[in-house]
Structure 1
Amino acid sequence: MHIFFQSDIGKKRKNNQDFANYFENNQGIPLAVLCDGMGGHKAGDIASEMAVSHLGDAWENSGLTDVDTIVEWIKEHINIENTRIVEKSTQYPDLEGMGTTLVAVALVENHFIVANVGDSRAYHFINGNLKQVTDDHSLVNELLKSGEITTEAAMNHPQKNILTRSLGVTKKVDVDIVTTSISTGNQLLLCSDGLTNMVNDKEIAKILTISSTSLKEKVSELVSLANANGGYDNVTVMLIEPNKGKEGKWICK
């Protein structure tokens, strides 16, 4: 098994607003998507599930194989889902204010194509080193980048959950895209902030380093550690480890 994910309600929340899944298009190219919803009542649940499910359905009906074309497709279709969420939130009063983060990755040829909106993250783990691929779209990250606060202050900042970008807020959303090459032994981690607010990068890397455990065991251990450290939020973790098929192409199945 080379893609595995787990979503958990955590220790403090009454419902789980995270949603994740992975899909293949009709050329066998995988797309993994993870969202962390926001909004009152069950609006966050709906926004995150809408984004993942509709984006996945569109991907399954596509036949794209070219990196540049896929990058443009991802940007376009994330904006389609953004518009859908905005329209639903204005159409139904109980969904007003709903939105979601989104982080997604497609495996194409010898590249990961990573897209993100919000503060759900993607990490690239290679040769024992954990590198954050995505950039958090949050107020605290803006303060950190400008030098107004330290890394230590950012960890416990009272405005840590304020996002500067998410799906469902404006009619058009900017999508960050990062393309990174794949090497043997790589792992790509997608996660909601329920993990990264509870488990630091060193702890994550330590778990991913253990070669004797499966992806399922690593994911389960990360979720369990987030809960053991407080579990203040929903936590969703998806781990991807590609391997080469018979034709020498990278695959995730």
Structure 2
Amino acid sequence: MMVPMSYSLVYSARSEIGHHRKNNEDTLRVNLERGFCLVADGIGGGAAGEVASRLFAETADEIFQNASDRSEAEALARVQETFRCANSRVREHAAKHPLHLGLGCTADLMAFHDHGFVLGHLGDSRSYRMRNHHLMQLTKDHSLVQHQLDAGLISPDDARTHPMRHVILRAVGGEDEVSLDLIRGPIHSKDLYLLCSDGLTDFVDDDRLAAILNMDQALAQKVDALIDAALTAGGYDNITAALVQAE
């Protein structure tokens, strides 16, 4: 029997192929009844990327299917198990299908427990929190460009147009043992969480994200505005955004 949370959640989400891709390698899943939201972005090109992100989402569906409670410990265990199992499944698929060698996916998976969230993160998909009109990035990209930024080798402006900005250092399916970031925090009334693929954040900067999220509009209209901003900027990649708000 699930323990009721101390807050309620509402959401809106959307995924678009963009203007220049033949297929959508992003996978989006929001199931608030089971207590999770995820965005996964395929790596490997063509069908390979789609397979990896789909495997991640299907794994989450299975692991969150019979949640026995909404404790923080339970949420943490399910997030870790999803990444571990999905990593194994992606690597097993690649071993059986040589044409898909090198496939993988980035993934952000947020699990909600009775007083807060547990967020698992691999790659360069991102999660943000808007609280009291202030936008905070919860995750740090596992990318070559982020590594160079941290080392002071390039500036933030350089990073946005760097020719190697899509080189990912950690991903689901990348290594035998998964090494993910785990972020935990409380959920306050009116908190707004954004999970998104790099098809949004590569082309819409944080100031623009904050302006859209602060609009006095319904969640669905905010999601549409996020997607439209990325499409207007060129729509060069698949674009996925999920908004979850606490009430």
Q: 1:82 to 1:229 in 2, by over 3 A?
A: same
**Which runs of structure 2 are paired with 1:204-243 in the superposition (5 Å)?**
204-211=209-216, 213-243=217-247
Q: Secondary structure at the match of 1:147?
A: coil
CA distance in 2, matches of 1:3, 1:53: 20
Provide the residue aligned with 1:189 in structure 2: 194
TM-score, length of structure 1 as denominator length: 0.91
Provide the residue aligned with 1:51 in structure 2: 56
CA distance in 2, matches of 1:91, 1:84: 11
Amino acid at match of 1:70: A
Shift, 1:70, TM fit: 2.1
Q: CA RMSD in A?
A: 1.3
User: Does structure 1 conserve the Cα–Cα contact (< 8 Å) formed by 2:79 and 2:111?
Assistant: no
Is 2:27 the partner of 1:23?
Answer: no
Amino acid at match of 2:88: T
Shift, 1:152, TM fit: 1.0
Structure 1 runs, 4 residues or longer, greater than 6 Å off: none
Q: Secondary structure at the match of 1:10?
A: coil
Provide the residue aligned with 1:110 in structure 2: 115
For structure 2, which runs of at least 5 residues remain unmatched after alignment? 1-8
Percent of aligned positions that are identical = 32
Shift, 1:29, TM fit: 4.6
Question: Which shifted more, 92-101 or 114-123?
Answer: 92-101
CA distance in 1, matches of 2:241, 2:159: 22
**Which runs of structure 2 are paired with 1:140-179 in the superposition (5 Å)?**
140-179=145-184
CA distance in 1, matches of 2:89, 2:39: 17
CA distance in 1, matches of 2:175, 2:111: 25
User: Does structure 2 conserve the Cα–Cα contact (< 8 Å) formed by 1:191 and 1:236?
Assistant: yes
Q: 1:66 to 1:155 in 2, by over 3 A?
A: same
Shift, 1:56, TM fit: 1.6
What are the Cα deviations for residues 210-249 of structure 1, in whole angstroms up to 9, with x where unaligned?
12x1111100110011000111100000000022xxxxxx
Q: Secondary structure at the match of 2:169?
A: coil
What are the Cα deviations for residues 111-165 of structure 1, in whole angstroms up to 9, with x where unaligned?
1211100010000001111100011100100110111111111111111000010
**Which runs of structure 2 are paired with 1:83-102 in the superposition (5 Å)?**
83-102=88-107
Amino acid at match of 1:20: L
Q: Secondary structure at the match of 2:182?
A: strand
CA distance in 2, matches of 1:46, 1:127: 38
Question: Which shifted more, 227-236 or 60-69?
Answer: 60-69
**Which runs of structure 2 are paired with 1:116-155 in the superposition (5 Å)?**
116-155=121-160
User: Does structure 1 conserve the Cα–Cα contact (< 8 Å) formed by 2:94 and 2:100?
Assistant: yes
For structure 1, which runs of at least 5 residues remain unmatched after alignment? 244-253
CA distance in 1, matches of 2:69, 2:88: 23
User: Does structure 2 conserve the Cα–Cα contact (< 8 Å) formed by 1:31 and 1:56?
Assistant: no
